[in-house]
Chains A and B, each alone.
Chain A
């Protein structure tokens, strides 16, 4: 009985250790979540205009003019004219879209670009956007649509784009345009313009006006390009030669050292042992299931037999692996970018609204 109690006591202590460990990692995760939540909540509130005082002059010849005119506050006269112009443009787009999407049915309400969606249309700080882009987004009532479809109108109306560049110069607009050469603004212009208004910037109303700064975009695209290059498996002569050289070096290190040392590192052995312990458990459980099953016909009986044989084979393989652990030296494995320690840097998870 004594040994039983010590066994149980040992298990209990391990259990307590596991529970404490779980509590700690829960707390850590909670802290991380709280940090993210704070950031997200702050983003969804009104943004402090004080932080966006001095817009940085964006480098590049195409933005020089715009930088100079950034200081100008558009006069109400200009705004009114712009509004009228924009409405006219929207009408034109509506007509064109009406023709072009005759076959599309009713599934693209946003492409109608009917009303000027940003409701503060009369506000000095957030003038209505050029129609072909404005109509497609930011509406809370219309279902959001894919971005690709909205690019069609831009091609149809080149003259609108010129104007949009011009009016952006003064209004500090711009969002969602992929072509950097159109000289879209630093978003800080948007925010400083916005701060003139009585209402502060909220993501809900004007989120679509945002645009990432040029420098950041360049750095980010370079970053993803470099990661892709680094993780692509290169099989060139130089790579193979380097791999061979590395293996030879390792072997030489092993043979010239005075102490044989463990073949695999302690952590690796531990991990492998834990894994095989779990495997053993799963196999035993499955065996138990099969042994308790009561075959009704010969097919089930044969199936049971086959399953047990398969389990036997798997157990044999596990034993083989275990024996290898003790004897086979570690080899220089080629780098596999999609293993567990290397998050797949170019993949993204998508979530669809069903």
Chain B
């Protein structure tokens, strides 16, 4: 901020200010951020710093809660929730788990936990993204988010182990009905969006957008709601600004955190009574390794057999052979590119374009559009993905039939399986 150019070295007053300013920026960008003074007290493990930091960690670790909802959790509940969330994420220090549940102690340990979260990933950016003010009509272009969610919890063992097949049929029918309703509602929404976009064309100050979105039109219809939206926008702007400030200044914070860590007494190397949280993933790890190894074995056998047959065979000799071979290799590479991508990437989305929801913008035919995706291309990509998934589904169904037949002990003939429907 106030750099004095007449001196070449950094003014000590500036250096002293750098840390509180960095912390102030951090506080401002995080929800429920405490003052720099609280951070300082936390370093010395002062008890008055603890409650504020527990609250901060609670807000940071459960961002899906609305602003006011955290008040409905008691301090003890917040403390327990923070401890659980940190352990699930793999927080290494035991001392935090040993802190009392009433939230009265542990300032320094909480400070370390916050720094740990900040160091592992772009925490302020992620929080801002999750609660972002949406100004446009957002449309998802892939199902990554939905698929990345953990799914239903493992069902508890029920008293009677039998599930009536009719119950399953009923659930399936209900689901199909809800899908149809969803489709109809979605189509209606698109039609309405189309009308609103065309009625407000030319109204947007941003020429590349050209028309208003529902949110923007709504704020014009309802000025009170518009004022609230404006306030939210301005609050978000302040937090964004603070996040940028933080990025510029964070180095001095990390140097300070080293001293905080140094001020802690070293922990004993043997864990005594704390039970490990059973990581569900590791349970499924072993079977998966075995499955992959089995697959590898089968492939190896098949490859060896065919290679041998090939070498012994007559085809594929001569000068034109090497050209053909290269061409074939390329073709196979391309053929399997999608599969390879699906296996390598962290997600199941095969769209090569940016993920996440996009703002829907209507452009007139013939006008070159701005940056972003073109709807026909997205539709094409989604259709081909749908086709691929259909193929996989049919193959899986075939596998299931065979498996069932094997279990029942009958030859794989006509097994009466209820039609899945379309």
Contact = CB atoms under 8 A, between A and B. Distances in A.
A304 B291 contact: no
Interface string A323-340: 101100010110100111
A203 B199 contact: yes
B186 interface: yes
Main secondary structure of the interface of A (DSSP, over half): helix
Interface stretch (A62-70, A72-80, A162-170, A248-256): A248-256
Contacts of B174: 23
A208 B281 CA distance: 55
A348 B211 CA distance: 13
B347 interface: yes
Contact of A219 (B167, B234, B293): B234
Contacts of B309: 301
A100 interface: no
B113 to A, nearest CB: 10
Contacts of A146: 363-364, 366-367
A272 interface: yes
A86 B88 CA distance: 69
B295 interface: yes
Interface string B224-261: 10100110011011001101100110110011011001
Contacts of A262: 90, 279
Interface stretch (B38-46, B50-58, B298-306, B413-421): B298-306
Contacts of B220: 187, 191, 210, 212
Nearest to B324: A299
Interface residues of A, number: 167
A80 B141 CA distance: 51
A249 to B, nearest CB: 5
A122 B133 CA distance: 41
B288 A310 contact: no
Contacts of B199: 203-204, 207-208
Contact of A20 (B171, B219, B233, B300): B171
B201 A144 contact: yes
A19 B163 CA distance: 13
A319 B279 contact: no
Contact of A348 (B112, B258, B358): B358
A308 B302 contact: yes
B267 interface: yes
Contacts of A43: 196, 214, 217-218, 221
Contact of B171 (A16, A239, A275): A16
B284 interface: yes
Contact of B306 (A23, A264, A308): A308
Mostly, the B contact residues are helix
A150 B45 CA distance: 66
A261 B92 CA distance: 5
Contacts of B155: 13-14, 16-17
Interface string B137-158: 0010100111010111111001
Interface stretch (B5-13, B66-74, B99-107, B202-210): B202-210
Interface in B338-383: 339-340, 342-344, 346-349, 354-367, 369-376, 378
Given A21-B152, A279-B343, A310-B336, A273 B288 contact: yes
B279 A304 contact: no
B185 A37 contact: yes
B240 A230 contact: yes
A322 B285 contact: yes
B331 interface: yes
Given A219-B237, A305-B303, A348-B209, A340 B347 contact: yes
A230 B243 contact: yes
A311 B339 CA distance: 9
B200 A203 contact: yes
Given A258-B270, A315-B296, A39 B178 contact: no
B40 to A, nearest CB: 18
Given A242-B254, A310-B333, A352-B363, A340 B248 contact: no
A350 B152 contact: no
B159 interface: no
A204 B285 CA distance: 59
Contacts of A317: 343-344
B126 interface: yes
B146 A25 contact: yes
Interface string A169-190: 0000001101010000001100
A13 B163 contact: yes
B168 A322 contact: no
B244 to A, nearest CB: 6
A257 B288 contact: no
A353 interface: yes
A21 B247 CA distance: 40
B323 interface: no
B206 A221 contact: yes
B280 interface: yes
A349 interface: yes
Contact of B299 (A227, A234, A267, A311): A311
B17 interface: no
Interface in B311-326: 313-316, 324-325
A51 B221 contact: yes
B163 A12 contact: yes
Contacts of B198: 144
Given A136-B202, A262-B279, A342-B125, 5 more contacts: A14-B155, A263-B90, A288-B395, A348-B361, A350-B373
22 contacts: A18-B151, A20-B171, A23-B178, A25-B146, A26-B175, A44-B196, A56-B223, A213-B226, A223-B233, A227-B240, A250-B119, A259-B92, A267-B150, A291-B302, A305-B307, A307-B336, A311-B336, A322-B288, A323-B289, A344-B356, A349-B139, A353-B362
